[in-house]
């Protein structure tokens, strides 16, 4: 094993633990040496890992460039596993950018490559990632089917990391369907595995989602420790995408506890945190929750503004289910302004 390969192993371990800032810095330091190396595998893997780290830090344009460099080198070798991992990375990148058609195209190619290689871990991961894309498009039954397939496959492997992600993703899908008990159960499974592996990033995302399930499912008093744990990890690892969504969830928790002033502050912080990120799916979810919060306070004009923003973003994403939800919020605003009776519940 080369010196660069040993260095990359350490960086990969940091990245898996959510140490994104450290990974980006280390990869940029090793990149010049890797580019001078005659070892094409080291060179390709360096660009691949940098693409992965940049995706998680929210620098999508630079991430795409690194992934494409990695793909070119892996095809030159050729390296089937490397090509597969790069297709996966590009699929995840485009999913984060809410370019779901392109994401599904890359992930389908990833599944084909994994199937050709007979790699069960990659096949399971492909089903997880395809399920996430379907969930983002609000095709929840298809998403759940893919996640369950991923669990079947991954339980036959020793890849506990991917198994935890499959549980987390299934929990996220159930959460969006409003099936909060099932969602929470799967998120707890994710956290159990992640805790055993020391995977702080997985713990943080699952904890934040668990807090949202508890808050929206009527168990808000139990939500504090989950969202506080998530925010602490996101702060420590400087995972700004995770932190921005955790701020939204923290706002929801405070709203459901009737701490309206604090909820308002947190919603505004979440908007600021997302301002320089290109993650429309997170933006539309934030607008949904903020519109419903404003509606509950009787601030109808501002609620309608947020509903209109959500409609525009949903159209940009091309997701009918999200647009329908945005219209339902706007219709409730109209109903509340026309009816002097009690406000509709969010």
Q: With helix as H, strand as E and coil as C, how does 19-77 read?
A: CHHHHHHHHHHHHHHHHHCCCHHHHHHHHHHHHHHHHHHCCHHHHHHHHHHHHHHHHHC
List b or e across 201-239, with b for residues whose CB sees 16 or more CB atoms inside 10 angstroms.
bbbbbbbbbbbbbbbbbeebeebbebbebbbebbeebeb
Mean pLDDT of the chain: 91
53-79 pLDDT, tens digit per residue, is 998 887 888 999 999 999 999 999 999
Element spanning 289, H or E: helix 280-296
186-207 pLDDT, tens digit per residue, is 999 999 999 999 989 899 999 9
238-263 pLDDT, tens digit per residue, is 888 899 999 999 999 999 999 999 99
pLDDT at 343: 47
Query: Is 248 in contact with 286 (CB distance < 8 Å)?
Result: yes
99-146 pLDDT, tens digit per residue, is 889 999 999 999 999 999 999 999 999 999 999 999 988 899 999 999
pLDDT value at 168 more than 80: yes
Strands in 229-325 per DSSP E: none
Residues 6+ apart with CB under 8 A from 77: 40, 41, 44
Tell me the backbone φ, ψ of residue 279, rounded to 5 degrees.
Answer: -130, 75
Tell me the backbone φ, ψ of residue 157, rounded to 5 degrees.
Answer: -110, 180
Cα 111 from chain centroid (whole Å)? 20
In this prediction, residues 279-299 reach a mean pLDDT of 89
In angstroms, the CA 344 to CA 88 distance is: 43
């Amino acid at each position: 094993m080369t010196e660069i390969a040993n260095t990359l192993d350490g960086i990969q371990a940091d990245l898996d633990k959510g140490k994104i800032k450290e990974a980006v810095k280390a990869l940029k330091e090793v990149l010049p040496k890797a580019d001078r190396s005659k070892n094409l595998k080291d060179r390709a893997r360096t660009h691949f890992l940098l693409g992965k780290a940049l995706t998680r830090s929210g620098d999508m344009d630079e991430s795409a460039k690194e992934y494409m460099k990695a793909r070119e080198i892996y095809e030159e070798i050729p390296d089937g596993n490397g090509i597969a991992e790069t297709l996966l990375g590009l699929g995840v990148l485009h999913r984060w950018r809410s370019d779901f058609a392109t994401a599904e195209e890359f992930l389908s190619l990833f599944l084909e490559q994994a199937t050709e290689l007979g790699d069960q871990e990659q096949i399971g991961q492909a089903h997880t990632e395809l399920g996430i894309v379907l969930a983002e498009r609000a095709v929840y039954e298809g998403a759940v089917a893919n996640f369950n397939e991923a669990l079947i496959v991954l339980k036959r492997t020793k890849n506990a990391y991917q198994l935890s992600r499959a549980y987390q993703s299934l929990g996220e899908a159930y959460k969006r369907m409003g099936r909060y008990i099932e969602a929470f159960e799967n998120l707890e499974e994710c956290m159990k595995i992640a805790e055993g592996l020391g995977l702080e990033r997985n713990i943080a995302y699952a904890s934040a989602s668990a807090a949202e399930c508890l808050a929206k499912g009527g168990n808000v008093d139990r939500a504090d420790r989950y969202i506080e744990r998530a925010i602490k990890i996101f702060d420590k690892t400087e995972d700004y995408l995770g932190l921005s969504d955790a701020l939204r969830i923290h706002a929801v928790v405070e709203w459901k506890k009737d701490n309206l002033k604090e909820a308002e502050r947190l919603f505004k912080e979440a908007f600021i945190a997302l301002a320089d990120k290109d993650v429309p799916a997170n933006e539309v979810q934030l607008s949904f929750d903020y519109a419903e919060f404003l509606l509950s306070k009787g601030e109808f004009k501002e609620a309608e503004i947020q509903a209109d923003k959500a409609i525009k973003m949903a159209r940009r994403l091309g997701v009918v289910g999200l647009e329908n939800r945005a219209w339902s919020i706007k219709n409730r605003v109209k109903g509340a302004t026309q009816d002097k009776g009690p406000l509709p519940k969010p």
